[in-house]
Chains A and B, each alone.
Chain A
Amino acid sequence: MIKKRRIPRLLQLVLIVAGVYFGFILTFDVILGQLIPKSLLTMYMFFVITGVLMVFTFTEESTRELIDPIKALVEDPSKKVLRNIVFVIVPLLAGIYTYSSLLPSFEAPVELRTIHPAPPSKMKAYGKRFDLATLENPYRKYEKEDPDKFRELVREGGDVYIKGCQYCHGDKLDGKGPYAAGLNPTPLNFQDVGTIAQLQESYIFWRIATGGPGLPAEAAPWISSMPIWEDFLSEDETWKVILFLYDYTGHQPRSWEHE
């Protein structure tokens, strides 16, 4: 049997846990650009550590491999210097952790929300039920069939937009309307490729008709200032304003055909 040189089990364990920890921080803070809340991180790390410990102590032998270096540190007289160092550092670290976690926090709690949650399969609006899987913009067909009529519809949609939406989403549809700075979450930017360009018209219809309060819990409906437009716009007007959103930004709605 050839004995492979390998990383000590204890070091492996520490490396895996540290790797996962920094992985979380990297994906949330850097890639997703949202600070991960401390409580959430603590919870994730709790599961990760228990999981890893369970794997590493699966057999008696592996448990021993894990514990032996620790035992040696405490018991082996030849490791006295290292022992003294560790015995000073560990209590100090515990002290610092206690101190910092007991200090009152003055940072506002971070709120995570999903910007584009999965839509329901069916929705209710205008006293009717809509099946979002098959729902289509009844005016979209005129884009090819009757361009003049289509222009007129876009125009009417623009009027709806200026009277109802520009305050927040902006005259340039860039999410920077005159009142946007006073709202959190900020109104979405339709020029961006990450919003309406990725969505189907039925999704937009759902969002406009039911507004912020129509969102599912993961999208924090209680803070979104997006109004419930069913209360102010007719069904027709909603479809027209959708035509305008795509026309003005030059985006195409996603459709089943394209996939």
Chain B
Amino acid sequence: MRQINLFKLVLFVALLLVVGITFAKPGDLDRGKEIYDKRCTWCHGDEGDGLGAAEGYVNPPPRDFTSGNYKIKSSGFDEMVPNDDDVYRMIRDGMPGTSMPGWSSLLSEQDMWDLVAYVKMFAEFEEAPEQQVDYGTPVASSAESIAKGKELFEDGDRCVECHGKTGKGDAIKGLKGDASERTWPRNLTKPWTYVGSHDPKDIFARISIGIPGTEMPSFADPKSKKMLSIEERWHVANYVVSLAKTQRVVDAENTVIQADILEGDLPDSPDDERWEQMMPTTFFLVPQIIGKERLFRPSNDTITVRAVYNDKAIAMLMEWDDRTKSIPGDERAEKIADKPIQEDGVAVQLPIEIPDKMVKPYFGMGDATHPVNIWHWKSGTKDMAETVAMANSRGFEDIEARDATESGLQAKGSYHDGTWRVVMVRPLTTADPENDLQFIEGRFIPIAFAAWDGSNNSEKGSRHTMTTWYWLQLKPATSAMPIIMALLIVGLFAGILFWWARSAAANKAVGGDS
């Protein structure tokens, strides 16, 4: 009897819970406001107008909820109101590549539903949306579908106009968002920057609805000349997914650039095909927000490096996606750039001495006792070719310019389809070991990078993106040395032991009864 009662009780409680959860979904406005005031006002503002403290410090800017624009939604393209699930999902998962974090680690489900209710209230959204995205019959990805998608992507510059020929976001025109802020079209080859995930279904929804509040248009709108049918949109989505499969992703475990040894001449041109055979290592670039004049709204986010050396010199290829080729004075470049336009650039930072112990120079341009060597390439202007400069610095304030040619440093850059490739070559040793790093095979050499996008926020001087210290290693050629030494040691040990045993036995024989 008692057991049955207990069972009933458990069932009842479980039922209450289920009912509680289903009824809890429509959020509670008052509780929503309470949470919002503690967690969200910093960015979205007390009034939901996006004018919190973060305004001007982050790009994209925090959403102005009073505008009613929701970027990531699944209601129809001509419908302002998002589904509650859409808003819930963005609060739960956040928007990658922006400062909007996912909140599920800190807030309960109920908290987040309360927030949905409160946030929607800013645009006075009360009714559920009437139209929904029509997904039709999904088309599975295949070589054929991807090829069709590519054609539609390029046809009449449909997507190319903004996303560029290879999808890297190298637009032909400047774009603005609803708060008239500068926006850059997504680099579709970087899946970690998709705010609404790079699942084909999500991409289908983006293509169908567009991204409200930005210039990314709807391709389901019959009024558009570039409209696509449902099936066509699936092909394009499959193509976009295929673009996002890149070799140049950050692997947090891989912190060492391995330079292979090469017989013969080094590739000294960025377009040399031999670079393809070298192992790429990719690092995140973070904006310089640490000292002096800071950069808060960067555009470059990763850099890929390859290196190779021979008996005379080392060559490094730096490769990074940059939506604009910033050449001051060039008419086309000036048109897209934030004013005033600056040169693009990249820099390599090395210690002057390979550290023996753990102690390194301060990663931000060295320090008083540990200077660093900086190699800085710039893209040039309309009237001046690209340049490479060299400097030694002991911190931000103490920079000494040096002559790059004296140390034999050379650099060459090339820009294609939204990607800069810059090669720097320097002899392994120089005549000035007091001021130049001397490369030594096998050693772990700290190395750091910086990049400038001259079309974004006029990046220049200390306003750039950068990495912290990583490692460069000139991989020693495989040699027979270890195996020879090992054999020698084996012989030596065996010899000594044998001799010991023999002489012990001889002693015994001589000593007789000892």
**A residues near B, CB below 8 A?**
74-75, 77, 83, 87, 90-92, 94-96, 98-99, 102-104, 106, 108-109, 111-112, 158-159, 161-163, 166-168, 170-172, 174, 176, 178-179, 181-184, 191, 213, 217, 220-223, 225, 227-228, 231, 248
Contacts and interface: CB of A to CB of B under 8 A. Distances in A.
Q: Which 9 A-B pairs have the closest CB atoms?
A: A182-B284, A91-B493, A95-B490, A102-B482, A99-B486, A159-B53, A182-B286, A179-B286, A91-B494
Given A83-B501, A87-B497, A87-B498, A99 B485 contact: yes
B107 to A, nearest CB: 9
Nearest to B467: A182
Interface stretch (B69-77, B179-187, B211-219, B473-481): B473-481
Contact of A102 (B53, B486, B505): B486
B485 A102 contact: yes
Given A90-B493, A94-B493, A95-B489, A222 B361 contact: yes
A96 B256 contact: no
Contacts of A183: 286, 468
B61 to A, nearest CB: 13
B42 A158 contact: yes
B374 to A, nearest CB: 16
A98 B486 contact: yes
Contacts of A163: 53-54, 57
A98 B255 contact: no
Contacts of A213: 362, 367
B7 interface: no
**By CB atoms of chain B within 10 A, which of A95, A108, A225, A248 has the most?**
A95
A177 to B, nearest CB: 8
B99 interface: yes
A101 B255 CA distance: 22
Most buried by A among B290, B467, B473, B483: B290
Interface of B: 38, 42-43, 52-54, 57, 97-99, 101, 103, 105-106, 250, 252, 255-256, 258, 283-287, 289-291, 296, 358-364, 367, 370, 442, 444, 467-469, 471, 473, 475-476, 481-483, 485-487, 489-494, 497-498, 500-501, 504-505, 507-508
Given A87-B498, A99-B483, A181-B252, 4 more contacts: A87-B494, A106-B258, A217-B359, A223-B468
A191 B507 CA distance: 73
A223 B360 CA distance: 8
Contacts of A74: 500-501, 504
A181 B54 contact: no
B42 A172 contact: no
Contacts of A92: 490
B287 A179 contact: yes
Nearest to A112: B358
A256 B248 CA distance: 52
Contacts of B492: 91
A181 B370 contact: no
A220 B358 contact: yes
B360 to A, nearest CB: 5
A74 B500 CA distance: 8
Nearest to B502: A74
Nearest to B40: A171
Contacts of A227: 289-291
Nearest to B362: A222
A127 B391 CA distance: 31
Contacts of B360: 222-223
A181 B42 contact: no
A93 B290 CA distance: 51
Contact of B53 (A162, A176, A228): A162
B442 A104 contact: yes
Given A87-B497, A163-B54, A225 B473 contact: no
B475 A104 contact: yes
Contacts of A111: 358
A83 B97 CA distance: 66
Given A162-B52, A181-B252, A222 B367 contact: yes
Contacts of A231: 291
A75 B514 CA distance: 13
A94 B504 CA distance: 23
B481 A102 contact: yes
A172 B481 contact: no
Contacts of B485: 98-99, 102
Nearest to B442: A104
Contacts of B489: 91, 94-95, 98
Nearest to B500: A74
A157 to B, nearest CB: 11
Contacts of B105: 172, 174
